[in-house]
Amino acid sequence: MNIIKCDSQNFDLQVLQAKEPVLVDFNATWCGPCKMLKPVLEELAAESDAYKIVAVDVDEAPELAERYQVVSIPCMVRIKDGVETGRQVGFLTKDVIAAFLEG
């Protein structure tokens, strides 16, 4: 599965109504750590269908960043059954993110 780009138009459908757990990556194109994180998340997305990974650009969807009180990026929010179940901020290694996804 690939990373799905989300904004306020498709967020509820892709994230809150998803059957599987979702990792929401709040990021921005100008953010260095976000750029470093992207290939790590792409690898994880390709390795498993047990969860979905979506990306939200905070500049394109500031209302979502505000809704989830994102103050630093990259910010990864784990959501299951429409409820936040965990949060990590900053660049993390693939192993740490995989463990975080397991929750």
> Does residue 1 register a pLDDT over 80?
no
Residue 6 designated active-site:
no
Identify the domain containing residue 72 by its residue range: 4-102
Please report the pLDDT score of residue 99 as a whole number: 94
Matching residue, tokens 């990259």: 74
Catalytic residue among 15, 24, 34, 64: 34
CA-to-CA dists, residue 3 to 46, 71, 88, angstroms = 9, 22, 18
Residue 34 designated active-site:
yes
> Does residue 28 register a pLDDT over 90?
yes
C-alpha torsion sign, points 97, 57, 9, 41:
negative
Catalytic residue among 31, 41, 55, 65: 31
Reported as a single tens digit per residue, the pLDDT across 44-103 is: 999 988 999 999 999 999 999 999 999 999 999 999 999 999 999 999 999 999 999 987
Backbone angles phi, psi at 19, to 5 degrees: -75, -30
Which of 1 and 44 is assigned the larger pLDDT? 44
Q: How many domains does the chain have?
A: 1
* CATH number reported for the structural domain that contains residue 57 in this entry: 3.40.30.10
